Amino acid sequence: MTGRIVSINISNKKGVKKTPVREVNILTDYGIEGDAHSGKWHRQVSLLALESIKKMKALGVNVSPGDFAENITTEGIDLLTLPVGTKLAMGENVEAEVSQIGKECHTRCAIYEQTGDCVMPKEGIFVRILRGGRLKQGDSIKVL
């Protein structure tokens, strides 16, 4: 199963929308350099499918990649079918392993307040980085 990276998004603090960038450096066992969620833990990088964002758009919510605080917005891979432990190849060098599916939403974000729902807690996944490297918008993402 192969898809593509639609958007790469970063922020310098947690709990806020992320800003799209064209390219990032991803560090082994750490995450995206310069992103607030990086670190020595199991949720180093978050992924959300563009298909999930389109569900929210269909509800009339004006949202874009990064608005759900996801680091990587993908297209063409059903992220929710990937069990914990699944390995992913991203771009030319980056390798990651699915470490968590979904998350508990401790505080209600602006999107939840607007619509009564949010896709990230149910449809977002998290990975830890097994091998770092450069990653660019438009790169491929492949289930290994």
Written as tens digits, the pLDDT of the chain (144 aa) is 899 999 999 999 887 789 999 999 999 999 999 999 999 999 999 999 999 889 888 878 888 999 888 999 999 999 989 999 999 999 999 999 999 987 665 555 555 555 555 555 578 899 999 999 999 999 999 999
Amino acid at position 128, single letter: R
The number of distinct structural domains making up the chain is 1
Q: How many CB atoms lie within 10 A of CB 138?
A: 12
Q: Determine contact, residues 77/141, Cβ cutoff 8 Å.
A: yes
Q: How far apart are CA 65 and CA 20, in angstroms?
A: 7
Radius of gyration in angstroms for the set of CA atoms belonging to the chain, rounded to a whole number: 14
Tokens of 91: 């771009």
State whether the Cα torsion 25-63-112-13 is positive or negative.
positive
Domain span at residue 100 reads: 2-143
Report the CATH number that the domain containing residue 28 is assigned in CATH: 2.40.33.20
